[in-house]
Chain A
Amino acid sequence: EVQLVESGGGLVQPGGSLRLSCAASGFTFSDHYMDWVRQAPGKGLEWVGRTRDKPNSYTTEYAASVKGRFTVSRDDSKNSLYLQMNRLRTEDTAVYYCAREGSVVAGGAFDLWGRGTLITVSS
């Protein structure tokens, strides 16, 4: 089955760190750029960041709100995507989704999403 499954969510104090994982299956993970998207309670979708593929040197991009605090990485040998979150703030509280960028034909659309994992930043 083609799917993405996130894990690693939970409660963390402000200023703390957390690492999310996303396990991919059913498709060739290494062929795709991969992204993280979040949704805070009562808010809309917000893009967090992305990692490109090996031919593009696994380069990354980030939203301004997380740049310098969050790091997106991947391990193609494990079909896994990661999000290292440092210096967490209360406003980082959200459900975090792993999302696959489709082929070039898809024009950068996210054609597969995980079910998400909840991060709560609170003292």
Chain B
Amino acid sequence: SYELTQPLSVSVALGQTARITCGGNNIGSKNVHWYQRKPGQAPVLVIYRDSHRPSGIPERFSGSNSGNTATLTISRAQAGDEAAYYCQVWDSSTVVFGGGTKLTVL
């Protein structure tokens, strides 16, 4: 079965750029979606189809996908960005989530 690998944690200084990776075999050939999950809240879609932002998501959130790695980039990180982030793809009509990355804003 297809697997997605994310780092357990990423730290970023306030106002700096955070990059969260999602690794998978030839993931560049798939559509990658990213979700933000804050404690006690429902997950929120922040990037779909590799690099598209839903309405209401700040331009500070961007995404890329090539080869074996997809990346979520958060520019000018804010305290409110502290959350768990999950990547997701479809593989053979089933959904695969990455294990999640806890973003800490210092």
Instruction: Please report A residues at the B interface, Cβ cutoff 8 Å.
Output: 35, 37, 44-47, 50, 61, 63-64, 97, 99, 102, 105-111, 113-116
With A35-B95, A61-B94, A116-B42 as contacts: A109 and B48 at CB distance below 8 Å = yes
- Which interface class (under 10, 10 to 19, 20 to 34, 35 or more) fits B? 20 to 34
- Tell which of B31, B43, B95, B96 has the most Cβ of chain A within 10 Å: B95
* B97 touches which of A46, A107, A113 (Cβ 8 Å): A46
Instruction: Provide the residues of chain B in CB contact with A37, threshold 8 Å.
Output: 43, 95
Contact of B79 with A by CB under 8 A: no
Query: Would A110 and B42 count as touching, CB distance under 8 A?
Result: no
> Cβ of A113: which chain B residues have Cβ within 8 Å of it?
42-44
The answer to whether B95 and A44 have CB atoms under 8 Å apart is: no
Q: Would you call A110 and B98 a contact (CB within 8 A)?
A: no
In the A-B complex, the 5 residue pairs with the smallest Cβ-Cβ separation, listed nearest first, are: A47-B95, A109-B48, A107-B31, A109-B33, A113-B42
B42 touches A45 (CB 8 A): no
A sample of 14 inter-chain contacts (CB < 8 A) reads A37-B43, A44-B99, A46-B97, A47-B94, A61-B93, A64-B1, A97-B42, A97-B43, A107-B49, A109-B88, A110-B43, A110-B45, A110-B88, A115-B41
Closest residue to A99 on the B side, CB-wise? B43
New A-B contacts (12) at CB < 8 Å, excluding given A45-B35, A108-B31: A44-B98, A44-B100, A45-B100, A47-B95, A61-B93, A102-B45, A107-B33, A109-B45, A110-B33, A110-B88, A113-B43, A114-B42
Interface majority SS (helix, strand, loop, mixed), chain B: strand
Q: B interface vs A, CB < 8 Å? A: 1, 31, 33, 35, 37, 41-45, 48-49, 54, 84, 86, 88, 90, 93-100
